[in-house]
Every structure is written in structure tokens, then in C-alpha cells.
Structure 1
Amino acid sequence: MKKLVVIIGTLLILMSCSNPGNDNQKKRNLTPEEQKMEWWTDARFGMFIHWGLYAEPAGEWKGERIPGISEWIMCNAKIPVKEYEKLAETFNPVKFNADEWVKLAKFAGMKYIVITSKHHDGFAMYHSLASKYNIVDATPFTRDPLKELADACKKYDMRLGFYYSQAQDWHEPGGTYRGYDEGKPHWDPNLVREPFMDYVEGKAIPQVKEILENYGGLDILWWDTPFGMTEEAAEKLKAVTDDYPKLITNNRLYRPWPGDFSTPEQYVPPTGLDYNWEVCMTMNTSWGYKWYDENWKSSEDLIRMLVDIASKGGNFLLNVGPTAEGEFPEPSVERLKAIGTWMQKNGESVYGTSASPFFKLPWGRCTVKKVRGGTNFYLHVFDWPKNGLLTVPGFKANVKDIYLLSNSNQHFAWKFDGENLDIHAPSVIFDEVNTVVVVKVKGQYIVESNKPTLFNGSILLPADFADVYNPGYGSHAKIEGQGTKSVISNWVDGRSKLKWIFDVSEPGRYRVETLVNAESSSGLNLEIGDNKIASEIRSTDGKFDVVKLGEIEISETGDHMISLAPDRENWNGAELMYLELIKL
């Protein structure tokens, strides 16, 4: 027993001597801005919650399904202010349980929550003294759900942010709306208009002060849609947030201002960005609850999307739209639990990681983390090679160990073959969604880019090097297979685009060809820089065939991006194996 006490005491001394010193040294090397953002960049994964009066109609008004996203129903259905206000009379989310929401987010591996305090409909989801149009004063619920959520976040060590629509407010005479910038009138003729600054000073500023002062200290303020926002109004709102130096804000207060992070919406950028960024994404079509929206992304797609974003150095803010009763829809719960089950085993490969140094890894993605004496490379294998040989291209390093993250006893043999690292794995799929293999490297390493460039007179852009831009909803094009056998399949939605990045070592004129399979003729638009070509893909009679798309002039060396976008008016779907630029 005495020996055990000595061992534990020694360990505690070692921990107290080493870890805090390292942390303090790290913090000393960070700028004040980097220190503020440190927890956020380490988190990588958060939950977005869109909840408001719009959950009551849930996408339907007077028996008619209203096109568009649920939270925009007041605008899309042109509902008069007084009619929309009546929703508050029956809004009573008695099944709301803040603890359950936070516990589920925590299980899913999320490190922060951002929830709508006031959306564009003008209704406050907290007890506002600046406007009686709020959940405590205007509904039978009479509780403050955001106060309960703030308390639950503190209880379970969850960071918290509030979304606030600072310019759009369809309920107020001075608030903006879609078309406001173009001078279009509000759809409700009974709403007598007032100056925009009357709204900003009378409601927006007081409410922003309320949410910053009364909820225990927010970590994030998430602005949205600065339609009609002026610099004068933005300066006054910013003056309020300036009193909170640790508060993180996004780039949507006023369009010219960058904020602390940018917000790609419903798409993942093809490469990492030079500043902090966060993808916000729905699980189905709508942000708010829409009872008939069954267009759910799969758990597999969401897990891979999280890893794709982390591998590019970004954060993922995944949305849930609760019902009018205050519950998460069951399909959302199922997906959050599936993500959480994966994250319990593999979260180390997401939290606190940096962007991948590799240009493309055809079998998946890579995240990186600095560790004592070296670097951990987390190889996220989406498509396990059928020959059991996982090739890491252009990699020179002192590899000390390679093992399975979910089972550190499962080690892999490896060898270097020229400039590539070949990892030999058993002929078994460890995780059908994403197997994480850890490559431990001591000291420095070198990564040679495998970016496509001119070779033997042409630049080959295979399918698995493409970035696929799918819409937030609808049918999604997918990459299947690897290398010369890879193919873009299920390319049926005319909104899905393909983009490739490549290096041009020799400027000049190039012929662009593609290997496609098209059952029917379709239109395809090619774009590179200022060059735009409209082409037609004729039917290939159910087999892959080479189709010439046109000729382009590339006048400068360096990185270029080429994109293929369907002609939405004339798109019947296709499969694609590669794009090739042939120097003339």
C-alpha cells in the first residue's frame, strides 16, 4: 500500500512539473487572437440548433406545403405579422429538456452548441425585456429555454453560443427583409415602415446586450444575414461586443468585416482556407423543423464530412431543428448517436488536429497532430484498398510505429517504396465508414505533393482527385473506387459540380477531354479562370467513351482550378472517370 502511494505521488509530481509547463510555453507562443480562438480550433465539432415559432407550422401553412426552408415560412408564404404572431398562442414545447439536449451533443462528440436566440421572424427564444414578443411573455410555456440550456452547458462542460439575426426582423417596422436592399416593399401592407436605425437602437442593441449579460458569459455570438446592414449600425453593435474580449464572432455582422471566422454554408471548400472557418450544414434540407422533410444525409456521409473538414483545418457546425414540442427529430438523434459511437473510438483524430499536408489521398483523408518528439498522422481510410496495401504518396519520415487508433494493439507492417510509404494491412475492413490508422513519426518529415501536373504532354485529372460540390439537399454525386478505376457516380442532380486543382508548368493551349458514360445527351459547362466553354455530351450508349469538351488557353504557370457544372436546363445525368488536358 505504501509503495502504491509513493508511485501515485511520483506520477502527480511529474504531471505537475511537465504538463502545465508545456501548456504555458504553448500559450506564450500564441498571439492574443490565437489564445482566444484556441479552444474553438481544438474543438472542430459543434451543434447548431434552429428553434423558434416556425417549428409550429413545420413547413406547412393553411394546409399547403410551403417550398423552401422551414424557418423562412413567414417570408416564403407572405404571412402577415398579426397572423404569424398567433403561433405564439399555441407554442408550448413541454417536452424540452436542456440536459438531454446537451448530453446528446456531448455523446456525439460536439464541443460547443450555437442556438437561435432570435431568427428573422423576430421572435426571441429567451426572456427579453426589450420586446414582449418572446417565449416567456407571449406563449403558454412561460419558461426561458436558453437560460436552462446555458445552465446545462455549464453543468456538462459544453461551450455555448447564441445566433442573433441583427438586421432581418420581419416582425418589426424597421427591420430588413429579403428584397429590402432593392427597395422592395414588405409583403405585409399593414406594417407601417420605420427607419432601420430605430429598430437597431430600439431592439437589436438592447437584445444583444441582454444575451451577453444574462446567460453566464457566451463563448460565441453568431450573426446572420446582414441584408440592409449599414456601417453605422454595425459599429454600434460591435461596440457592445467589444466589451467582451473573449467573445468569438463570425463574419456575418457586416459584409466587409471578417469577424473571427468565416462561415461556408451547406458546402465544404475544396482546400483549407488561410483563416479560421466553420462549415454550417443541415442534416436534411431545412434548418428549422419541417415535418415532411425526409431528405436525410446518412451517418456515413456526416462522419466523412466531419473528417474532410478537419483534414482541411476547419470546424463543422451540424444543425438540428427541434420540434414545436421541444424534441430532436428521431432521425437526427439516430445520426448523432452514430457519429458519437465513432467519435468515442476515434475522436483523438479530430480534436486539436491540423490540416493534412497531403494534396490528395485517394482512399480517404489525413489529420495531423504535434506530439512530444514528433507528429501523429491520422490516416482516415474511407475505401480500404482491396489488395490490403495502403499507399501514402510522397512521404519521407522516420516512422516509429503504425497502429489502429480504435485498437492500439493492432499494429501494421510497413516499408518505403521509393517516395511512397506502403502500409500492409490484414485483408479485413476494420470500420466500414472510416478506419483510422495512426502513423507515429519522430522528428521532421517531408511530403512531396502529388498534385496533377504536365506529364507526357497531358494533365490527367482522375475522378478521385475531384472535389464534389453537392447541394445541401437532393441526390448527391459520389466518388467510387481509386486511381484509374475511380468514377464519379450518381451524378444526376444538375446542381452538383466537380472541381479539380492542378499545376500548370507550361502555359499554352490545351484540348479538354473527358471519359464519360451518358445514357442521354446533356449540357455541361466547363470553366477555368476567365475561360468558359459550353459543351454537349452526347449519349455514349451505356458505355464509357472519350468526349471532347473544347479548347482553352492557359497563360500563366502555377495552380489552377477547373470546374464542370451541368446545364441545369439540359442535364440527364452521367458518370465520369477522368478529365484530361492535352497540350496542343
Structure 2
Amino acid sequence: MRSARLHGQPRGNLLLNVGPDATGVIPPQAREQYAGIGEWMQRAAPGIHGAGRAPFPGGFAWGHVTARGTSLYLHVADRQATTLDLPGLTAGPEAARDLATGSPVPFTLSEPDGLGRIVSLELAAPTDELPRTIQLEFAGTPETTGGLVQAPGADLRLDIWAAEAGEDGSRRWEFTMGTPGDYRVVLLTKETFSNADPQWWADGLTGTLVTDQARREFTLRREGEEPYPIIHYWKLIRSEIGQLHVAAPGTQELVLEDLPVVDSKWDKSGANVVALRLEPIGERRDDEAAE
């Protein structure tokens, strides 16, 4: 189901495959999973059929966003999420509703200096095991300020596809931070190769993290794992590569240098980079606390 949401975001097509067991029968678990996907697709249909990429230049930890006409559709995979912040919008929505229940979703609109408009939604608890889908209705086509913007106090994800690629292989991100403080810079790379034998070939690779304050060399190590939402048998690998100090709200820049970045599951020569994530220091993530 995570794969279906992700492929719907950029108007992609998804081929799902399931085979029978040794007796020629489709496993009950597969039938249940396909039934769940079908139920979710019926519920979230306005945000899937004819929908495409949302105007946000980055991803969200809680799920994914699609756009269709004058609406945004928030596909909320995180069952624990009770509030959502959408930063950088040029205008606020006129209404918000939960497609599972039809109930309105309360929201507020704020305008911190330099951050554009931020829509904050208060979510009700999930009514079943399926992802929640929230529709935001706007007066016109929803737009953003165009840059990566941190919601105050939150993590900020810098996706690899949002980076500017240099001729020397570097990757550069420019973004706006809303909350001063110190942040961990975590590099998220992914396992690749086969489903039966996932490999993480980035172990021991070196690079340089460049901030406004310093240049810091780093070595990639497997410091934690997270689910990879596209292919379940691969993991995202966490590697802390440095820190960022934000003295005041405003524009920041990060550059990755000297790290070979590849985009092939067969290529052992570099790191399959997914994103950088800036995490406020002093706040432990749920997946870290559970270890």
C-alpha cells in the first residue's frame, strides 16, 4: 500500500505481482492485502485517479501528498500522527475533510516571518487499519513559495531529487529553517540488490558535509534502520554525518561533496542516497527510543 501511494504521487504506474503457493493457491495473506489495497483505493480515489505531484519540493515523514485540480490529498501512513503541518503554502485551504468519514478536519493558518503560510491540521484517530486520506479544498490551484521550508520545531527532509547536482558530483540544497537551534544531519541511504539478499554497499564510503559554519569529513556507518516505503525487503540506513547550527530563522545551505552517489541497485561503487534529514538535537525519534 505504501508503494501504491508513492507511485500515485508522480502519476506513476505500479505493477503488483503475486504468485500461488506450491499447491496452486493464492496465499490468504496476499488476498487480504489486495482487498485492503482495493478498499483504500476506493476511499482515496479522488486523490489517486487523475491526481499528480503536489507542489511541495520535498517529502513528509507522516506520508505523501497528491494534487488534483483545486485540492490537495494528504495520504497519512503514520497511525500515531495527531497533527500535520504543511509549510510554504501561498494561500490557506477553504475546507478540510477526512475521506473515510466525511467529517471536517479542524485546521489553523499561521504566517511566521519568512516561512510563507503554514497549515496545521488536528487529526482524529484512525477508524480502521487503512491509511487516512485528508482532502484540502482551495479557492484556486494550490501553490507553494517554491522552496524547502521547515515547519517550526519539526524535522526537515531534503530529498535527493530536490538537490542541485554539480558537475563535480556534489549535491546542494537550499532551504528555510523556522526554528533556531542545533540539528543532527542524518544521511538516509538504501539497501539494494535482491529481495533474498539485500546489500548495503555504502559502508565505509567517505564524503564531506559543507555548511555555512564548517567543512566536515564523514564516513558512512550503519547506525540505524528504517522501513523503505517503496520496497519492503530493503531498509533505509541511517548515518549521522554532522550537525547544523541555526542561529536565526532564514535561508540555509548544505552541500554534499566527495561522496559517490549512484542510482542503480547493481552498482557497488557508491551510495544510493534517498535524502538528508535535519533532526532537532535533544529530541529522540520513536525508532531510536525503541532500540
CA distance in 2, matches of 1:346, 1:365: 12
2:66 to 349, 359, 367: 367
The secondary structure found in structure 1 opposite 2:4 is helix
Q: CA deviation at 1:417?
A: 3.4
CA distance in 1, matches of 2:193, 2:117: 35
Q: 1:410 to 1:321 in 2, by over 3 A?
A: same
1:333 to 4, 9, 31: 31
Does the 8 A contact of 1:366 with 1:377 survive in 2? Answer: yes
More helix by share: 1
Q: 1:415 to 1:518 in 2, by over 3 A?
A: closer
The secondary structure found in structure 2 opposite 1:361 is coil
1:319 equivalent to 2:24? Answer no
1:494 equivalent to 2:216? Answer no
CA distance in 1, matches of 2:241, 2:185: 14
Q: 1:545 to 1:384 in 2, by over 3 A?
A: same
Q: 1:562 to 1:421 in 2, by over 3 A?
A: farther
CA distance in 1, matches of 2:128, 2:117: 24
Give identity over the alignment, percent.
21
CA distance in 2, matches of 1:474, 1:384: 29
Q: 1:405 aligns to what?
A: 99
CA distance in 2, matches of 1:348, 1:304: 17
Does the 8 A contact of 1:512 with 1:552 survive in 2? Answer: no
Q: 1:401 to 1:552 in 2, by over 3 A?
A: closer
CA distance in 2, matches of 1:495, 1:505: 24
Q: Which amino acid aligns with 1:473?
A: N
Q: 1:513 aligns to what?
A: 218
Does the 8 A contact of 2:71 with 2:142 survive in 1? Answer: no
Q: 2:86 aligns to what?
A: 392
Alignment gaps of 5+ in structure 1: 1-302, 476-492, 499-503, 520-543, 555-559, 570-575
Q: 1:355 aligns to what?
A: 53
1:377 equivalent to 2:72? Answer yes
Does the 8 A contact of 2:107 with 2:120 survive in 1? Answer: yes
CA distance in 1, matches of 2:176, 2:37: 41
Q: Which amino acid aligns with 2:216?
A: R
Q: Which amino acid aligns with 2:74?
A: L
2:131 to 434, 453, 475: 434
The secondary structure found in structure 1 opposite 2:71 is strand
CA distance in 2, matches of 1:424, 1:407: 16
Q: 1:564 to 1:368 in 2, by over 3 A?
A: closer
CA distance in 2, matches of 1:389, 1:313: 27
CA distance in 2, matches of 1:561, 1:446: 34
Q: CA deviation at 1:379?
A: 0.6
1:304 equivalent to 2:2? Answer yes
The secondary structure found in structure 1 opposite 2:53 is coil
Does the 8 A contact of 1:515 with 1:577 survive in 2? Answer: no
The secondary structure found in structure 1 opposite 2:143 is strand
Q: 1:213 aligns to what?
A: none
Normalising by structure 1, report the TM-score: 0.29
Does the 8 A contact of 2:210 with 2:257 survive in 1? Answer: no
Q: CA deviation at 1:408?
A: 1.5
CA offsets 1:390-429 (integer angstroms, 9 cap, x no match): 1112112241101101121233222133324233314624
CA distance in 2, matches of 1:561, 1:368: 34
Higher relative contact order (Cα pairs below 8 Å, separated by 6+ residues):
2
Q: 1:129 aligns to what?
A: none
Q: Which amino acid aligns with 2:98?
A: L
Does the 8 A contact of 1:510 with 1:553 survive in 2? Answer: no
Higher-Rg member (1/2): 1
CA distance in 2, matches of 1:400, 1:518: 43
CA offsets 1:327-360 (integer angstroms, 9 cap, x no match): 4333321221121232232233212211222222
User: Which residues in structure 2 correspond to 1:35-434 (within 5 Å)?
Assistant: 303-322=1-20, 327-358=25-56, 359-370=58-69, 375-383=70-78, 386=81, 388-418=82-112, 419-426=116-123, 428-430=125-127, 432-434=129-131
CA offsets 1:280-315 (integer angstroms, 9 cap, x no match): xxxxxxxxxxxxxxxxxxxxxxx1110011112211
Does the 8 A contact of 2:64 with 2:75 survive in 1? Answer: yes
CA distance in 2, matches of 1:496, 1:357: 33
The secondary structure found in structure 2 opposite 1:391 is strand
Q: Which amino acid aligns with 1:363?
A: W
Does the 8 A contact of 2:87 with 2:118 survive in 1? Answer: yes
CA distance in 2, matches of 1:505, 1:516: 19
